[in-house]
Amino acid sequence: MSDNQLRVVWVYPDLLSTYGDQGNVLVVERRARQRGLDVARLDVRSDQPIPTSGDIYLIGGGEDRPQRLAAERLRRDAHLYQAVNNGAIVFAVCAGYQILGHEFVNDLGQREPGLGLLDVTTVRGEGERCVGDVLADIDPRLGLPQLTGFENHQGVTHLGPTARPFANVRLGKGNGTGDGTEGAYNDTVFGTYMHGPVLARNPQIADLLLKLALDVNALPPSDDRWYEALRNERIAAAQQQPA
């Protein structure tokens, strides 16, 4: 962050914005403003270059063909790599999560190269699609409460040695590998299958992104009553699902 302005970049909303994932950028923007931060939000369409000067980059989910197009354009653009090298924070959901990895299976049934910003590889699952509410315990090193979200994906994502599981599921499929993991992260890059939108259900994750971007250990308190009501409602609903 420089010039006392937090720059939040919403990547390819014309291709990657399903299941209300645009809500993630709205939550980050709002929670930053609640702390008195000056926020510059930039929505970057797929025919525009990715800026390298952002502080937080948010990527949503998408259908198979838009996912392939997004991956192709992000590889050609290459500016997201530079932004990460500059210390930017990236948070991606579902198709965006898969794009951050080494490769995934595209709509043509072919292996599609990803960006390699996370040490993960995604294949197409052979069993039932992973659909439904998820409850999971986030890696305790991140100091966050229980994760709540909604998954809808056929992909099975395997973590390599340098990727840490973002969470371990209590309910749901997560990465779909059967090992209980959900999502992945390294120091500044995060991926998850959770929709919801996930940052509305889990505002503490948005705060974590802000703290990393600002390089601070804590933020001023904010009014979380609305968020907590949503969290409690969705957690209770998930817990009532049949096992």
Q: What stretch of H or E contains 30?
A: helix 22-34
> Which residue is listed with tokens 């838009």?
66
Q: List Cβ neighbours of 243 (8 Å cut-off, separation of 6 or more).
A: none
What values do phi and psi take at 133, rounded to 5?
-70, 150
Tokens of 135: 């409850």
Known catalytic residue: 195? yes
Closest CA to 167 of 56, 36, 14, 157: 157
173, 128 Cβ separation under 8 angstroms? no
Known catalytic residue: 153? no
Task: Tell me the residue type at 68.
Answer: R
Rounded CA separation 149/234 (Å) = 8
- Determine the straight-line distance between the first and last CA of the chain, rounded to whole angstroms: 45
> Which residue is listed with tokens 């950028």?
25
User: Which is catalytic among the residues 94, 130, 153, 158?
Assistant: 94
68 to 72, 94, 110, 184, 230: CA distances (angstroms): 6, 13, 10, 21, 33
Q: List Cβ neighbours of 153 (8 Å cut-off, separation of 6 or more).
A: 94, 129, 130, 176, 193
- Annotated ligand binding at 129? The verdict is yes
Q: Is the previous residue joined to 197 through a cis bond, with omega within 30 degrees of 0?
A: yes
User: Which is catalytic among the residues 102, 153, 158, 195?
Assistant: 195
Q: Which residues are annotated as a binding site for substrate?
A: 129
**Residues that are catalytic:** 94, 195
Q: Which residues are annotated as a binding site?
A: 129
